[in-house]
Structure 1
Amino acid sequence: FLRNIRYFFDKGPANDILLRLSALIIGDDVSGLSGKVVGIYCSLEIQRIFDRDSILEIFLNAESFGANLYGIRTASLYYFKSEVSNLEIFEAAYIISLMGNDSRLIYSNKVKRSHASIVNLLVKKGMVKRDYALKNFDIFWENITIRTNPPPHFNLYIEKNLAPYFNSYIIELLSRHGEINLERKGFTIYTTLDARMQLIARSVINMSIREQEKGTSSFVENNHVKPEGIILTIDPLSGWVLSMVGGIEEESWLERSKKNWPIKKKSLSENSKMNYTTFIQPIFDRVIHSKRQVGSAFKPFIFAAAIETLGYDRKTVILDAPIRVSMGGKMWTPSNYGNLYFGPVSLEDALKYSLNSVAVRLYMLTGSERILAIIGKALDLSEDKIRKRFKPYPSMALGVYSFSPTEIARCYAIFPRMGIKLESIALLRIIDDNGNVIVDNLKHALKRAIIDDFDDKSNVIKPETAEEINEMLKGVLKDGGTAYRAIHNEMLEIEAAGKTGTTSNFSDAWFIGYTDKLLTVVWVGYDNPSYSLGEGQTGGVVAAPIWAKYMKLIMDL
């Protein structure tokens, strides 16, 4: 590490990966004593928190590769219409040679010399034969302008309206920046949207809701009002919003989706770049603005509070039997679905089968304070907001309080994040027509993840508690679990966890499923909560199959 300190004082960030990553996080200006001290501290923190492979991955996903491209996968798709893993040796070396170069110099002699140096290093390391390099290097440069892709392939212009609900959300975020005039042209906005995931999410939810219309017995009773549905996918580690469908779309979009099916072979940028050549009016996005009761999807937080307060674990046995509790001066008798009871059961089986009586017993033993503390901390709610929004009634155990899909995603993210709260991000960068970076949320996100070092304020539950809940929620997808049938019918082979949720009168069907890389929320219901999806239309029957179809398609991306 002394070599890195010497570089800071003698050479600046140079091209050393660790130092360059530090510069990306704290800003390019590391001149002066204070800047160098911060840079050294940042380097120490990076090395302490991450291993070498993770440091390289973070760096390659944050670095610029010319032409206003950020991230090596984005550069690979732009220049060669190829995933990074499929690049030829000269192509990979070319992309690396672009790091730190001005966008106007992507075909310059400077880049060519850098490219030659990298190829020569590969020859010395025995990764490329010398004769092959000499023969093909000049051929590569003769064809470079032909083989690279023009900008229209990379840009996803807003007129195509790939993601109307996501775009509306971006506009909402932009409106919070007073310095940005949305009606002025020339801004380039970089977002976290994964175009291929978005296409799949849109197609799956539209087709699934049409099937739901046909199969819902109450459709006629609901005066031919169509049910709605949403899909939201977030990377639980970075917080990046990867897909967002806030409701069913017009018939023309649905038919277009059918024509494009299957869509997993499309080569589109991971980070959508949107040129706002037209101004889109915001639309009602159920992912952001619609709050609905979550039913049994709330139970993991009851179980997490019990583990932390009572010292339980997933093997702890508790009684599953009819229970009566006092609520509001009256006696309340919650029942299990189908009035089935198992007697003594482990906590993991109680969550797997979504047993209401056990959730209520745990609530009575634990109390509301710790449960609401988990929710409040995950959502950054003040104590005053918690008191106003959540009343400490035993019915809380059955999910009678309402959350937006975004909120429930943030709450569930504490499990794959091993207890650490999530701050989601959708808007990465805004660049004006002069090339000035106006907003850089990516840099702020990197600072938050590395320098902040996940301090105590970010810890919602203990890592051991998160691990217990993760293991229990994996059982929901296994034989006997409330989501098993959906997984089995789709023949989905995936290591995942999740929870179903159903509200009274079958008004809302939820499924929140996650892996270590993807967390997805699915909700189906009517905008009018008094309408029912129909008898037996539970989260496991309605929402979990949508998640399974969606996951099966995006697994190959």
Structure 2
Amino acid sequence: MQETTPIPLRPPPVRPAPQRTAEGARPKRKLKKLRLLLLVSVLSVLAVLSTIFGMMMAVSNELPKLEDRAQYRAARNSILFADGGKLSIAHLTDTQNRILLTSSQISPNIKNSVVAIEDQRFYQHQGVDFRGIARAVVEDVLRQKASQGASTITQQFVKNALAAQRDRTVFEKLREAALAYHLERRWSKDKILTEYINTVYFGNGAYGIESAMRTYFGQSRHYTQSDRLAANVSPDQAALLAGLIASPAAYDPVVHPIQATKRRDLVLKKMYAQHLITKAEYSHALLQAIPTRHDLRPPQPESTQPYFSSWVSQQMVQRYGPGTTFGGGLHITTTLDPEMQKAAANAIQAHLAGVGPTASAVVIDNATGGVRAMVGGNDFAHHPFNLATNGHRQPGSAIKPFILATALTHGISPDSVWTSAPKQFVFYQHGRKMIFGVHNFGNTYAGSTTLTSATAESDNSVFATIGLKVGTKKVARMGRKMGLRTRLSTNPAMVLGGLKEGVTPLEMAYAYSTIANDGVRHSGSLASGNMGPVAIEKVTDLSGHTIGTDQVRSKRVYSQYVAGEMKSLLHGVIAGGTGTHAQIAAWAGGKTGTTENYGDAWFVGFTKKYTAAVWVGYPDTLKSMAHDYGGGPVEGGTYPADIWHDLMDSILAIDASHNPGSGGSSGSGSGSYAPSGTSGGPSSTLPQTQTPQQTTPGTGTGGGTGGGQVQPQLQTPAPPPQQQPSPPQQQSPGQQVSPPSPGGGNRTPNGTGQ
């Protein structure tokens, strides 16, 4: 057999080494990665587009739900409960007060004003304004904060409707945009605008444009329930209502008239710039007055405590939106104690029934900052203005604890001696020399007195000197730190309570609770504002899931040393000063306040567990109460202290019934605080104070002057006497004071600022 030559095996091909770039990369592998990345990107884009397309097709089935009447059927009332979550005190609903209108029943001025301020490109975009989004992004980047909105009216309408149906999802933004885009292809622009105006919340319980017109402008019109006020609206009225949409609370014309006016004028300016009103209409509208509290006619709430529930519902709207608040079927547990609320109303009724003035009262739980009782008026149906939360009145001498806290913080001793005499302070305002004259109540002076005695007797002369010495700006800052929401003016007269804008009973009670808490301010995560008083304890949704629970938050305002002295000095006011009518069977401290001509009278006091503020006066005007206390004047130590006494006495009994064996813990347990200078007080550790300054005595009016930087011309006084005057004699904290005779003879003025 012939042998064949074997075929030689071919050696395996030698692959050339991969060429590397200067950076060591492999070009082919890099190319593959780029192709893969491109493929993934394309698929991702297709997936997103597919999702959006699918969502847009799916949401088309939801369009019928957006009709106003469909929202009515879907809405469920929210319920407010008292503390404990068992007793219902209010039902929050939008269907009871909302009146649905057709397009022809809504004034063109309303439609034009809403478009001008909310979405001026409403008639150009297709539901989603991409130009507006781009503009918002640029504005937000330039300002480095979210300051420019980009939602269209169509999107806002969809958002409101979905909130009312409790049907929000994790893709809510995308879903709302898809619905808005689809809605624009099903509905006309006019129908979208009409439906939107019918669903907007305008504040003060007004849901929808017809309810808003009746609430803010119905007082001066005679109409029947079948009439439609929204059909005839002037440009200034339309601009005010349109301006409320962005924030009904911030632009409330009753609570914030300056901000509301500026907002209205902005809407009018935009209407004129967009040729929606003439020059004459614009000029005329700017001159019109905005509604006052006398014009307000809000819908009657379904509530046993309408002042309190209206305040809470406003907070709920700000936190959860109007749709969820009024149609989300929420259960809201509040801080209100029904027994304390009844005690507050009874105490006021017992003293002021048949008397000219009225009263407002607020009770704060010191441990939580919770509002346990609130009397905002005596007739919500006819006087819905809430005096407790919105009644800004001059505090008189009730401002002095803020001066006291500032002075103690800056090293002024309770045992320091000051001159008590008529004084004149010189300062300059806009280059002009001004005189601020100060005198004591009844023109009675001690001559030389300690800060302890001056606090008990509410000596205007001494506190004006101290207030101007430490500085009005520091006093205002201290008030803010302690819990005042209103920014105190820094004019010289503020040291005697002569403010440019007064304070409310709610914020006074809350600020004084910081004193009761040894200088610690308590608030909560569901507070009415940043570190403010609390009204809401817990919120659950329709299915019973908790969506909000209040958590206590605390902040120290001043030192423990200052806290002890504050409580000691203010205890002296009740023990033997201007507030003896407030003595109860427990330890307590507080301060009286009376304004010039007896226009306002206050008593704000505290025990270990509770703080209460009582204001007495005429709510609709500044009217003198010179003869309303049994023929005598109403001072802080009369009706306000009497009401506070009865209220706190009842609270002691309520607390004892809730906590058997506690022995009335509302006032015990914090120690017995004697005025500084007596045995047991902390005065032995007081820091050294500088010699106080005084002014040259002279005649004064006590009325003060306007604002400006205080520059008093002070003279160096003679050295204070070596021997300190004796502190005021204390009465037993449990000693009861006899009620006044019809002529008020047993309650004579003590000669100091009350």
Aligned partner of residue 537 in structure 2, secondary structure: strand
Partner of 1:212: 355
Match in the other structure for 1:320: 420
1:231–1:522: 8 Å Cα contact kept in structure 2? yes
Secondary structure class of the residue paired with 1:409: helix
Q: In the alignment, what sits opposite 2:597?
A: 505
Once residues 526 and 510 of structure 1 are traced to their aligned partners in structure 2, the CA distance between those partners, rounded to angstroms, is: 13
1:409 aligns with 2:506: no
Deviations 1:369-406 (A, max 9, x none): 3212212323487xxx85xx513x32111011211112
Answer yes or no: is the 8 Å Cα contact 1:168–1:283 preserved in 2: no
Higher helix share: 1
Q: Does 1:428 align with 2:564?
A: no
1:437 aligned to which of 538, 543, 546: 546
Deviation at 1:211, TM superposition (A): 4.8
- Pick from 444, 449, 467: which aligns with 1:340? 444
Provide the identity percentage.
30
Map of 1:192-211 to 2, 5 A cutoff? 192-211=335-354
The one-letter code of the counterpart of 2:348 is I
Distance 1:525 1:497 in 2: 23
The one-letter code matched in structure 1 to 2:549 is N
**How many residues end up aligned between the 2 structures?**
342
Distance 2:419 2:382 in 1: 54
Task: Letter of the 1:473 partner, please give it.
Answer: L
Equivalent position of 1:394 in the other structure: 492
The runs of 5 or more residues in structure 2 that have no matched partner are: 1-80, 88-299, 524-532, 628-632, 655-754
Q: Does 1:359 align with 2:463?
A: yes
Which residue identity lines up with residue 465 of structure 2 in the other structure? R
How far apart are the structure 1 equivalents of 2:383 and 2:559? 39
Aligned residues: CA RMSD:
2.9
Matches within 5 A, 1:115-514: 161-176=303-318, 177-178=320-321, 180-184=323-327, 186-213=329-356, 227-249=357-379, 283-309=384-410, 311-327=411-427, 328=429, 329-379=433-483, 386=487, 390-391=489-490, 393-401=491-499, 402-423=502-523, 424-438=533-547, 440-442=548-550, 445-446=551-552, 448=553, 454=554, 458-479=555-576, 481-484=577-580, 486-487=581-582, 492-514=584-606
Counterpart contact for 1:352–1:473, Cα < 8 Å: yes
2:442 is aligned with what amino acid?
A: G
Between the aligned partners of 2:618 and 2:652, the Cα distance in structure 1 is: 29
2:647 counterpart (543, 550, 553): 550
How far apart are 1:504 and its partner, in Å?
1.2
Measured in 1, the distance between the counterparts of 2:409 and 2:379 equals: 43
Q: Are the aligned partners of 1:416 and 1:516 in contact in 2 as well (CA < 8 Å)?
A: yes
Going from structure 1 to structure 2, the CA distance change for 1:326 and 1:375 (only over 3 Å counts) comes to same
Instruction: Evaluate the alpha carbon distance shift between residue 529 and residue 358 of structure 1 in structure 2; reply closer, same or farther with a 3 A threshold.
Output: farther
Distance apart, 1:414 and its partner CA = 1.9
The question of whether the paired residues in 2 share the 8 Å contact of 1:168 and 1:281 is answered with no
1:315 CA displacement: 2.0
CA distance in structure 2 between the partners assigned to 1:159 and 1:397 by the alignment: 40
CA–CA distance in structure 2, aligned partners of residues 173 and 210 of structure 1: 32
CA distance in 2, matches of 1:487, 1:418: 21
Deviation of 1:74 after TM superposition, in Å, equals 4.6
Determine if the alignment matches structure 1 residue 537 to structure 2 residue 634.
Answer: yes
Taking the aligned partners of 1:191 and 1:282, their CA distance within structure 2 comes to 24
- Pair 1:209–1:441, CA change in 2 (3 A): farther
Distance in 2 between the 1:350 and 1:370 partners?
Answer: 20
- What is the alpha-carbon distance in structure 2 between the residues aligned to residue 281 and residue 358 of structure 1? 43
TM-score (norm 1): 0.57
Is the contact made by 2:377 and 2:383 (CA closer than 8 Å) also made in structure 1? no
**1:179/1:284 Cα in 2 relative to 1: closer, same or farther (>3 Å)?**
closer
Whether the 8 Å contact between 1:501 and 1:509 is mirrored in structure 2 is yes
SS of the aligned residue for 1:330 comes to strand
Deviation at 1:207, TM superposition (A): 3.1
Shift of 1:180: 4.7
User: Over alpha carbons, which structure has the higher Rg?
Assistant: 2
> Counterpart of 1:512 in 2: which secondary structure?
strand
Pairwise CA distance, 1:165: 1.0
Q: Does the 8 Å CA contact 1:318/1:358 hold for their aligned counterparts?
A: yes
Kindly state the Cα deviation for residue 228 of structure 1 after the two structures are TM-superposed: 2.4
> The residue matched to 2:438 in structure 1 has which SS?
coil
- Secondary structure in 1 aligned to 2:649? helix
Gaps of 5+ in 1: 1-69, 79-157, 214-226, 251-279, 449-453
Deviation string, structure 1 residues 333-356 (Cα, Å, up to 9, x no partner): 211111111122111110100010
For the 8 Å contact 1:318–1:347, the answer to whether it is kept is: yes
CA distance in 2, matches of 1:378, 1:552: 26
Deviation at 1:185, TM superposition (A): 6.6
C-alpha distance 319-170 of structure 1, shift in aligned 2 (>3 A): same
2:480 partner SS = helix
In structure 2, C-alpha distance between the alignment counterparts of 1:507 and 1:550, rounded to whole Å: 23
Equivalent residue number for residue 525 of structure 1: 617
- Counting only pairs closer than 5 Å after superposition, residues 13-32 of structure 1 correspond to structure 2 as none
Q: SS of the residue aligned with 2:379?
A: coil
The question of whether the paired residues in 1 share the 8 Å contact of 2:484 and 2:508 is answered with no
Three-state SS of the structure 1 residue aligned to 2:585 is: coil
> 1:234 is paired with a residue of what secondary structure?
strand
Counterpart amino acid of residue 366 in structure 1: V
Q: Residue by residue, what CA displacement relative to the aligned partner does 1:212-237 show, whole Å, maximum 9, x if unpaired?
A: 33xxxxxxxxxxxxx22111000112
Distance (whole Å) between structure 1 residues aligned to residue 643 and residue 390 of structure 2: 21
* 1:160 positional shift: 8.1
Name the structure 2 match of 1:82.
none
**Deviations 1:320-343, CA, capped at 9 Å, x for gaps:** 122111245232321111111112
Q: Helix, strand or coil: the match of 1:374?
A: helix
1:532 positional shift: 1.3
For residues 516 and 364 of structure 1, the distance between their equivalents in structure 2, rounded to whole angstroms, comes to: 31
Alpha-carbon spacing, 1:281–1:342, altered in 2? closer, same or farther (3 Å): closer
> Secondary structure of 1:319's partner?
strand
Whether contact under 8 Å (1:324, 1:332) holds in the other structure is yes
Deviation at 1:478, TM superposition (A): 1.3
Structure 2 contact 598–634 (Cα < 8 Å) conserved: yes
Q: What is the CA deviation profile of residues 63-117 of structure 1, one whole-angstrom value per residue up to 9, with x for unaligned ones?
A: xxxxxxx99x959x99xxxxxxxxxxxxxxxxxxxxxxxxxxxxxxxxxxxxxxx
How far apart are residue 179 of structure 1 and its match?
6.9
Contact 1:206 1:249 in 2 (8 A): no
- Aligned CA distance change for structure 1 residues 500 and 211 (closer, same or farther; 3 Å): farther
Q: State the 1:422 CA deviation.
A: 3.5
- Partners of 1:205 and 1:172 in 2: CA distance: 26
Residues 494/302 of structure 1: CA separation in 2 closer, same or farther (3 Å cut): same
Q: 1:353/1:529 Cα in 2 relative to 1: closer, same or farther (>3 Å)? A: farther
